Structure 1
Amino acid sequence: EETEVAPPSGKKKILVLGSGPIRIGQGIEFDYCSVHAVWALQKLGCETVIINNNPETVSTDFDTADRLYFEPLTPEDVTGVVEAEKPDYAIVQFGGQTAINLAAHLEKLGVPILGTPAWSIDAAEDREKFDVILEKCGIPRPAGHTVMTEEEAVKAADELGYPVLVRPSYVLGGQGMEIAYKESDVREFMQVITRNKVENPVLVDKYMMGREIEVDAICDGDDILIPGIMEHFERAGVHSGDSISIYPSINIEKKHKDTLVRYTESLAKNLAVLGLVNIQFVLYNDQIYVIEVNPRSSRTVPYISKVTGVPMVDLATRCMFGEKLRDMGCGTGLHPESDHYAVKVPVFSFQKLRDLDTQLGPEMKSTGEVLGVAKSFREALLKGLTGAGFKMKKKGAVLISVRDSDKQEAIRIGERFEALGFDIYATSGTANVLNRHMVATNAIRNVDEPSPNIIDLIESGKIDYVIATSVKGRHPELGSVHIRRTAVERAIPCLTSMDTVSALLRCLEGDIKIENCEMIDINSI
């Protein structure tokens, strides 16, 4: 049966690459995009062939596409399908990074890529090619260097000034990406990255702790449509998949929105994008910088499609066949903003992943997400946090252990918890700062000190929230990792970003209760 191919139907045959097995960084969102693309292609009168090997997705249902190949997404297996089916075109931009990485291989096999060409995909990943495009567009980005070895990385970090972002290219979900605050961090991260043979260069960028902004857009070659601009609650440095994401944005001025639209249009045209593009920006010192461009669908496409009513995948697929946005009746530029707030909150599986440090950073760790929709931002946030599993206790005890750079922020956080009536516990350094600033705090012994210490306190059941931003580590024996793991194993909410703490407090300080929140029919907005 595997060698049998249906006789020609006379229709155009389109090969759609799925996203492969679901894992952290690549989830069901890309399956949503693949399936909606198949439906759009069928409406356009095409025959569809899907390659995907994930049994838990809709794309591998027997009746989704005309032909399903349950094969791994590797060059060898894709070659076999191409030789058997002889498709007229292939679409790779809906299967995430896995599918995108096969674009060049498909072109070598003589299968034309529908949508954004393979050279453009490469230009978005290749630092030198991307820099040329940014310079042509006049768009700034954080200063950075391309390196291949540990010594080159150390030299680049010294030139840029710490902190720096160290990341491999052509990866998914920020895999292997870390923020380095000193030379020993750079050496440690480079040893991890280069443990396997490095074929693609490693990028070392200046780290800017600004406000991160995400834009998904559709480009038809002439015009763009941006359904909405999403703002991350956590500052840059936390992976977009692990951040609380807000639409419409609440802190971005109109002048910056105009800049974002202009930059998005310029990048989409210069990268010859046809279909979807995802761009991540950072707003730092009143200036917009571009962090990265992904000429493909992203994990936010289903979210922004649902809350704006713009069927992004359907429109993008039609653009690939030469239709223009102006003729589809959906408008161009920035789509009018919704009068409802939609807050995406990540969900984690830390209890199931033993010994993993729960500290959030540029490498993605979330395994799901929930969406809170309401007429007010605070109510949407409350719905999102509750859906993500937060118990939202308004009284009790909080434990604070933060790194030196967060201690000034911890004072305001402590004051807000104290005003709510919480008892505050903290490790010696943090307790000292809080008490000096008139926030009544109980000092407790650290992990490496005799009992009763911080671990005993967490295990006692007295603590309702743990705030732990102290040193991040790959080794479970580190004290800070031990604190966070103990909290997770006792099912105590453990917050590792001061912005997430602020989001939680925003809900606790309000008088809204989840049972009083209005139910919203997402189809009506």
Structure 2
Amino acid sequence: MSVELLTTLKRNGFSDSTIAAITGVEEEDVEQRRREIEITPSYKRIDTCAAEFESFTPYMYGTYETECEAEPTNQKKIVILGSGPNRIGQGLEFDYCCCHAAFALRDCGYETIMINCNPETVSTDYDTVDRLYFEPLTYEDVFAVIQRERGLGGEVACLVQFGGQTPLKLALKLQQAGVTILGTSPDSIDLAEDRKRFAELLWGLGIAQAPSGVATSREEAREVGTSIGYPVVLRPSYVLGGRAMAIVYDQTSLDRYVTEAVDASPERPILIDRFLEDAFELDVDAVADASGAVVIGGIMEHIEEAGIHSGDSSCVVPPYLVEERHLTTIRDYTRRIARALKVVGLMNIQFAIKDETVYVLEVNPRASRTVPYLSKATGVPLAKVAARVMAGASLEDLNLFSDLEVTGVFVKTPVFPFVRFPGVDTLLGPEMKSTGEVMGGALTFGNAFAKAQLAAGQQLPQSGTAFISVNDKDKKNVSKIASDLVALGFSIVASRGTAAYLRAQGVDTDLVFKINEGRPHIGDQILNGGVDLIINTPLGRDSFFDDLTVRRIAMLHGVPCITTLTGAAAAVSGIRAIQNEALTVRSLQQYHSEIVADGT
């Protein structure tokens, strides 16, 4: 390819990978050709003063022009890779981590550089870092910035842990190009993501994992599904937010979803796990240093049962239903896995408890979306701690000798955009739908849950009529919830099957028609203001017309609609707290001061 053509393509925004795809060569060949003829990007300063006077703001963007306005120094510098565009599954939680990492490193005397392509984030504010590059989070663009920053001989290292899954994918290639990756090594990152290697690691540690397999075709997926048994969870590897994930209960459903999973990550195989029905799920965030010391930031119990994406499930710290012996096992597993993976910095592990066995579901050697939540609950800025550890400090240097504790109860609740997207089903599943989160703190679980629901825009009713319609699998567990609602002053109406079951259990229940059974039906009752709370748990991802219509009507009319029984039980606790306790305001500083006073 001629110098003129390659220069024209680069000036018009063609990436090396795009040029390689068009010309049928490898991306590395295009990069090498560019460097041979010295076609490299220069960086211009964004004029924040509209040419009224000279701008000194260190906002840079890449272009293929001759003059470069970037002014790298010879100081020790650390490049932080941001999270990129906000989307479902990857939002401001990671931006929080990037900012706190930058603040901590600046306090330690490092020059901080942020690479991000989202001007809506705090990490792209003028005073967050010493220099900001508005560049795509691709290998080509990130490596070009690092090369420019190396210009005067300054030491340049890179952090990939704080921006979520996007920068994590670049770690191995950057290391192969000679970039120093601080914290957990790219090989350990790949080990945690590689299903076969990770399963061998857990087997060697004697830690249980749900039966699983890997497939690259429909035929292989069928074989895995048959061998490990249904139901199974399908998930593409290297994706965030549960994109294209599904729980399938038979081979027909598996065939239907395999194509979707492959499309989500075409260069990676499909991961298939046995779905642990009716299991408790928990999340753990921890920080480890190079010496092998591990401090657990918190163990968070999911309020929704297994099968709901962790980003869509409310969770509580400290756990309120899990037995202490299981928590002891979880702490032990967390430390052993962190040391086996040689984690330096943050790590997130998802656990499940079923039939008295603790299973490891997933390990992410990076910041998770729960880091800001735990940091506020404990009063310890975990992202700052992790950044300093990755820069060489030990946990002992930071006066962290034991796992973090909380005073009171803190509930995290997701915020959903259903009002803006009325066509989206409110039924929760393994694919993430929430776009934010809130936190409620109190001295009791019910009070904290009620506060969190209020903050999320969902006002729990104190009385009225509750409509209950659950699938056959859930019927055995719904009678206590219904009885509790009656004791709290609610009237119960239910669909035909649920009403018959509740009556047989001695719960006073009125029958209401489904939408296809004639009028007046449940939709009419909601429209007329006759329903104050809905508990609706259809089975599987494909809900029947009636259930979907009921949930949409409820959303449009502001009626709380709960789609899991564990969520319904938590709502009952919240309603009881509203009736019996005052929802008082208490600052985080008050909670944190009590932790200090206790000496923990």
Same fold (TM over 0.5): yes
Q: Which residue of 1 aligns with 2:124?
A: 60
Give distance in 1, aligned partners of 2:123 and 2:559: 37
Aligned pairs for 1:16-31 (under 5 A) are: 16-31=80-95
How big is the shift at 1:84?
Answer: 2.6
- Whichever residue aligns with residue 517 of structure 1, its letter is L
1:135 aligned residue (195, 203, 219): 203
- Whichever residue aligns with residue 382 of structure 2, its letter is M
How big is the shift at 1:277?
Answer: 0.4
Name which of structure 1's ranges 278-287 and 379-388 shifts more when overlaid on structure 2: 379-388
Give distance in 2, aligned partners of 1:88 and 1:469: 53
Residues 72-117 of structure 1 show CA distances to partners (whole Å, capped at 9, x for unaligned) of 2223332332333237111000000111112123223321111111
Give distance in 2, aligned partners of 1:44 and 1:60: 20
Determine whether 1:488 maps to 2:550: no
Give distance in 2, aligned partners of 1:204 and 1:244: 25
Give distance in 1, aligned partners of 2:237 and 2:315: 24
Name which of structure 1's ranges 163-172 and 290-299 shifts more when overlaid on structure 2: 163-172
Give distance in 2, aligned partners of 1:358 and 1:32: 28
Give distance in 1, aligned partners of 2:578 and 2:303: 21
- Whichever residue aligns with residue 289 of structure 2, its letter is D
2:111 aligned residue (25, 44, 47): 47
- Asked whether the equivalents of residues 357 and 474 of structure 1 are also in contact (C-alpha less than 8 Å), the reply is no
- Asked whether the equivalents of residues 441 and 448 of structure 2 are also in contact (C-alpha less than 8 Å), the reply is yes
- Asked whether the equivalents of residues 412 and 438 of structure 2 are also in contact (C-alpha less than 8 Å), the reply is yes
- Whichever residue aligns with residue 348 of structure 2, its letter is N
Structure 1 residues 7, 509: closer, same or farther in 2, change over 3 A?
A: closer
Q: Which residue of 2 aligns with 1:407?
A: 475
Residues 431-479 of structure 1 show CA distances to partners (whole Å, capped at 9, x for unaligned) of 221222222322222233333323222222211111111134468x833
Q: Which residue of 1 aligns with 2:257?
A: 189
Unpaired runs of 5+ in structure 1? none
- Asked whether the equivalents of residues 496 and 511 of structure 2 are also in contact (C-alpha less than 8 Å), the reply is yes
Determine whether 1:151 maps to 2:219: yes
How big is the shift at 1:149?
Answer: 1.6
Residues 32-84 of structure 1 show CA distances to partners (whole Å, capped at 9, x for unaligned) of 10001111111121111111122221100122111111122223332332333
Determine whether 1:518 maps to 2:518: no
How big is the shift at 1:346?
Answer: 1.4
Aligned pairs for 1:438-457 (under 5 A) are: 438-457=506-525
How big is the shift at 1:423?
Answer: 2.4
Name which of structure 1's ranges 16-25 and 78-87 shifts more when overlaid on structure 2: 78-87
- Whichever residue aligns with residue 203 of structure 2, its letter is E
> Secondary structure of the residue that 1:217 maps to in structure 2?
strand
Aligned residues: 521
1:507 aligned residue (566, 569, 574): 574
User: What value does the CA root-mean-square deviation take over the aligned residues?
Assistant: 1.9
Q: Which residue of 1 aligns with 2:289?
A: 220
Higher relative contact order (CA 8 A, sep 6+): 1
- Whichever residue aligns with residue 146 of structure 1, its letter is V
1:175 aligned residue (243, 263, 268): 243
Amino-acid identity (%)? 43
Aligned pairs for 1:290-301 (under 5 A) are: 290-301=360-371
Aligned pairs for 1:52-451 (under 5 A) are: 52-86=116-150, 88-195=156-263, 198-208=266-276, 209-221=278-290, 222-332=292-402, 334-335=403-404, 337-451=405-519
- Whichever residue aligns with residue 101 of structure 1, its letter is K
Give distance in 1, aligned partners of 2:397 and 2:127: 31
> Secondary structure of the residue that 1:291 maps to in structure 2?
strand
- What TM-score do you get using the length of structure 2 for normalisation? 0.83
- Whichever residue aligns with residue 156 of structure 2, its letter is D
How big is the shift at 1:7?
Answer: 4.1
Unpaired runs of 5+ in structure 2? 1-43, 45-61, 593-600
Give distance in 2, aligned partners of 1:116 and 1:257: 25
- Whichever residue aligns with residue 317 of structure 2, its letter is Y
- Asked whether the equivalents of residues 233 and 273 of structure 2 are also in contact (C-alpha less than 8 Å), the reply is yes
- Whichever residue aligns with residue 282 of structure 2, its letter is I
How big is the shift at 1:195?
Answer: 4.1
Give distance in 2, aligned partners of 1:196 and 1:347: 24
Q: Which residue of 1 aligns with 2:26?
A: none
Residues 456-509 of structure 1 show CA distances to partners (whole Å, capped at 9, x for unaligned) of 22222211111111134468x833222212211222111001011111111223
How big is the shift at 1:292?
Answer: 0.3
Name which of structure 1's ranges 313-322 and 93-102 shifts more when overlaid on structure 2: 313-322
How big is the shift at 1:147?
Answer: 0.9
- Whichever residue aligns with residue 533 of structure 2, its letter is Y
- Asked whether the equivalents of residues 460 and 560 of structure 2 are also in contact (C-alpha less than 8 Å), the reply is no
- What TM-score do you get using the length of structure 1 for normalisation? 0.95
